[in-house]
Chains A and B, each alone.
Chain A
Amino acid sequence: MTEIILDHVSKDFEIDRRSVRAIDDVSLTFPSGSFSALIGPSGCGKSTLLRLVADILGPTSGAITIGGKPPGEARLRHDIGFVFQDASLLPWRTVLDNVSLPLEIAGGPIGDGPRPENLIRLVGLSGFENAKPAQLSGGMQQRVSIARALTLRPKVLLLDEPFGALDEITRQRMNLELLRIWQETGTTAILVTHTIGEAVFMADQVHVLAAHPGRLVTTIEVDLPRPRHLAMLQTAEFNRLENAVRAALFGDELADDGAAARPERAHG
């Protein structure tokens, strides 16, 4: 079981010799095998939160466990797959060599881990094994980085705005594929996003964060059935959930908008 638990986690950064609180007392549970989304304005610490889970950063206070163990242990057991905002491929390596990189680091496959060739097929890039990253489009590069993140059969998949740089249409397609891959691999996935529709479409729970300092506002349960389809985007239920996330993100501002708009109209 790879439940991820954050217990009263805070994180301070030192900026110009002043301590700045990036994350303030966040407690969260990501159930094993679930798909969760973290959404919030810039400065809410959602990427920092993901890096705390990945043991790239350490919390200032509080505790994080992955399957009952500290993140550092999970990392060294190769239980964590991380997909960055940009694909972060090594430009001198071919697609196949990029996907094989984790195997070189770990010194071989973990258990009966998937073969790189099969992962490349899984993300729909068969025939591009020997291409260099510069020859691929942004969406294809991000597919490679997803395949790379799955090479060591991680139990946890952390996604930091993986499709943020892609156009809307490509992003929807990639999201559908990501859901398919997630269901096939059965990982516990956490997606950082700043798109409301994406969060609702992908996740079982959407955790809404606020900025300065980064803190949890609320969690919205998404009870849309799986597998998800594009047609769901147009349902009333989807709209209701989107509005719930929007209300949590903007809070009182939504109510104030009407008041703010009126004098504007008077000026015009």
Chain B
Amino acid sequence: MADVAATAPNRAGSLLRAALGPLVFALVIVVIWKAAVTVFAVPPYIMPPPEATLAAFEANFGKIGLSVALTLRNAAAGLVVAFLVAIGLAALFVNSQKATHAVLPIVIGLRTAPVLAIAPILIMVFGRGIGTAIVVVVIVSFFPIMVNAMKGFSSTRKNALELMHVLGASRVQLFLKVRFPFALPFIFAGLRSAATSAILSAMLAEWLSGAPGLGSLILDAASYRKNDLLWAAVVVSMLLAYLIFSATTLVEKRLTSWRS
């Protein structure tokens, strides 16, 4: 019990230390940004200085906040569906050679189909709202999760499989108690790359369908020549991707702490 109290301030300290690097790096980028705009006399309709971008962010805080919420919702919903689809397919493929031969080519075909080309069909089928957004996110981000999960599911140690067999475990018990936990480090490797591309593909879906969100905000700002708002939205979308990446890493550390 005593060491819990001792580690609490320690954890806050290490969190601060972990945040220090990115903060310093962000500051360096802002300084370079400001210097570049000043030295090369870049006109504000190409690249506004950082303070104008910050001012646009403050002036449009409500608008940007709402857009972030919408895009985040779409990305998260899409990621959840992508996760379930990926884990389901990976479990199927690891369990059945026949299913792999039948389904995997179609899955790869779907993966390689350019979203831009099939967008009109998607919008017709799933509408202009969250439906299309989820489908686009799933198409773009389920593949890395699936590939890593397959690798994870087939890397279960032989002794663990034999143990579960001797115990008379069912396939479901084997999957939930052994295969899935053993695969978690692999699954998270896929999930991390999928999570960042989920934000990007949620914005892509907005570009294609015109649904409101961070992507549409960027497009609107560009067409109305509100360049400082455009840049504010771009910076926010980058921060969002970074935060999602960090959140995934944090969850991964908690769930796979047994590895260390």
Residue numbers of A with Cβ under 8 A of B are 51, 54-56, 75-76, 78, 80-82, 84-86, 88, 90-92, 101-102, 104-106, 132, 134, 152
Is B167 an interface residue when CB atoms closer than 8 A count as contact? yes
Residue contacts A-B, CB under 8 angstroms, 21 given: A54-B166, A55-B165, A55-B166, A75-B165, A78-B168, A81-B166, A82-B166, A84-B159, A84-B162, A86-B159, A88-B157, A88-B163, A90-B160, A91-B258, A92-B181, A102-B167, A105-B164, A105-B177, A132-B258, A134-B258, A134-B260
CA distance A24 to B177 in the complex (A): 37
CA distance A88 to B250 in the complex (A): 28
| Residue interface mask B159-188, A partner, CB < 8 A = 1 | 110111111110001000110010000000
Q: Which residues of A contact B258 (CB under 8 A)?
A: 91-92, 132, 134
Is B259 an interface residue when CB atoms closer than 8 A count as contact? yes
B259 engages A91 (CB within 8 Å): yes
How many B residues face the partner with a CB closer than 8 A? 19
B159 engages A80 (CB within 8 Å): no
B168 engages A82 (CB within 8 Å): no
A80 closest partner in B (C-beta): B166
B184 closest partner in A (C-beta): A92
Given A54-B166, A88-B157, 14 more contacts at CB 8 Å?
A55-B165, A56-B162, A75-B165, A75-B166, A78-B168, A82-B162, A82-B163, A88-B159, A90-B160, A91-B258, A92-B256, A92-B258, A101-B177, A106-B167
Q: Closest CB-CB distance, B248 to chain A, in whole Å?
A: 19
CA distance A181 to B26 in the complex (A): 63
Q: Which residues of B contact A80 (CB under 8 A)?
A: 166
Q: Which residues of A contact B163 (CB under 8 A)?
A: 82, 84, 88
| Residue interface mask B92-134, A partner, CB < 8 A = 1 | 0000000000000000000000000000000000000000000
With A78-B167, A78-B168 as contacts: A90 and B162 at CB distance below 8 Å? no
Q: Closest CB-CB distance, B258 to chain A, in whole Å?
A: 4
Q: Closest CB-CB distance, B178 to chain A, in whole Å?
A: 7
Q: Which residues of B contact A84 (CB under 8 A)?
A: 159, 162-163
B167 engages A101 (CB within 8 Å): yes
CA distance A91 to B259 in the complex (A): 8
